[in-house]
Amino acid sequence: MKALVTGGSGFIGSRLAAALAGRGDTVRVMHRAGSRLDALDGLPVECVTGDVLDAASVAQAVDGCDVVFHAAAVSSYWRARGDVVSRVNVEGTRNVLAACRAAGVNRMVYTSSVAAIGIPPEGTLGTEELPFDALSARWPYASSKREAEDEVRRAVSGGQWAVIVNPAAVIGAGDHNLITGSMIVEAARGRVLASPPGGLCVADVDAVVIGHLQALALGRAGERYILGGENLTYRELASVMAEIVGRPAPRWRIPPLAVGPAAAAVDSYNRVSRRTPIVDGMQVRLSGRHMYYDSGKAVRELAYPMMPFVAAAEKAYAWYRQRGYL
């Protein structure tokens, strides 16, 4: 099988490319001209330059492939303008789907996010059927991933075969862009002094890669599958990371009532600052919520493996130390 991985130089994309090559598939990776390629060092893959917003380059990348894993996206949404996030995530997905139709490639796995599912009400687990909430609709990243899923479902209704996977917060070796791996790096540097009042669903990148492969083999066209892991409070996450990196666990917990004002202050600062944001107000707001999700559907239908957070964090820490981040 010849597989194309868009966004193949990124965290999930590069790990997916490695897994495909490791099982004997022929792998083509599409990346932008300015992308770092160190995540692909030593892998037996074909690298092609392209951009999902350039339909011609997407068509060239898709040509001759049997299956496409569409993982390209603006994941570090807080570092980009909302209109850029929307264009890449929505228009880019539309271009990949069109290229697949034109080339006769009728197998695609789309990497979405639990953000596209929405924020579960407090005390509940989000599932694939969760109604999209008003706050997520105002969040450019979540709404763009949701719209991209709509593009996939429209294509499926027109006869294409595609499956959607929704990873939670992904942890593990290979996150050189510090999307979620920044939690490990900041903990190792002793900068985590307090924990927010909410919680997060965290997934091992190795499990998420298996979920992609199983979605291709066992997934149902047009369906979405949550690829999650453990649901942990930020205090629990911080305690696990502190033990791994040999630092004291944070003693303080941010009061829930402080989250809103802190988010507003971050947004105000980002509006006047000329620096690339390291966090945005939406991230702060969400840190006060328990963003917990149920991966049961993926476990049942895809034999998705539920891997513990501690193992993923240990792999991430070792990877960052080996490469001089710490």
Catalytic sites, residue numbers: 141
Q: Provide the 8-state DSSP code for 38.
A: G
CB atoms within 10 A of CB 53: 15
Q: CA dist 149 to 89, 94, 165, 198, 213, Å?
A: 10, 10, 10, 27, 19
CA angle centred on 176, ends 233 and 320, rounded to 5° = 75
Q: Which residues of 6-29 are buried (b: 16+ CB within 10 A; e: fewer)?
A: bbbbbbbbbbbbbbbbeeebbbbb
